[in-house]
Amino acid sequence: MRPTDSDVLLVIDVQNDFCPGGALAVSRGGEVVPVVNRLGAAFAHVVLTQDWHPSGHHSFASAHPGRKPFETIELAYGPQTLWPDHCVQGTAGAAFHRDLHLPHAELVLRKGFRAAIDSYSAFYENDRRTPTGLAGYLKERRFESITLCGLATDFCVFYSAIDGRRVGFEITVVTEACRGIDVDGSLAAAMRAMTEAGVTLLGQ
């Protein structure tokens, strides 16, 4: 991989709560950190996303009495998986993994900060309509190709990859630098859907 000036590395949610010991730990999630650091060193341009929920966020099971994490409910914008409280604004769990070393990152995009709607994708909220502004930022800077890595493969990486294709970017996912949650077969389904959408999967 030889990134050019029109390439950007998009690092998804490498935060403490998604790593071992975190509130929503992804199995072997910490393993991505050195791989992401090596990738980042090869890119002149890096963007980070950060899950950034207010307390009582509607995607938290704790906000719905009688519900448990990983159940699915219907919200105004469609089905929503309920999660343990995680990446609450200003907490240690919401901070980036301490070993993540990307000092030249040019943008940190915070998502999931609207209490009534979740945001897996770096490009759109979960209503699939409300933009985060990332597409406009990347296009204004004339990036053409996005390489994705981070956590988790079958949720935030997946939706970011699909939406990146939808708004016209070439998308590559480095699977070695990702780990999945795999709720009811979600990992295999995400890999199939990304391939069908024209996403390049490196490491398969």
Angle at 110 between CA 107 and CA 114, to 5 degrees: 155
Angle at 171 between CA 165 and CA 177, to 5 degrees: 135
Choose, from 51, 111, 163, 178, the residue flagged as catalytic.
111
C-alpha span between 128 and 119 (Å, rounded): 9
Q: Are 122 and 163 in contact (CB under 8 A)?
A: yes
Choose, from 19, 87, 156, 178, the residue flagged as catalytic.
156
Determine whether 156 is an active site residue: yes
How do beta strands 200-202 and 170-179 pair?
Answer: parallel
Determine whether 99 is an active site residue: no
Give me the active site residues, please. 13, 111, 156
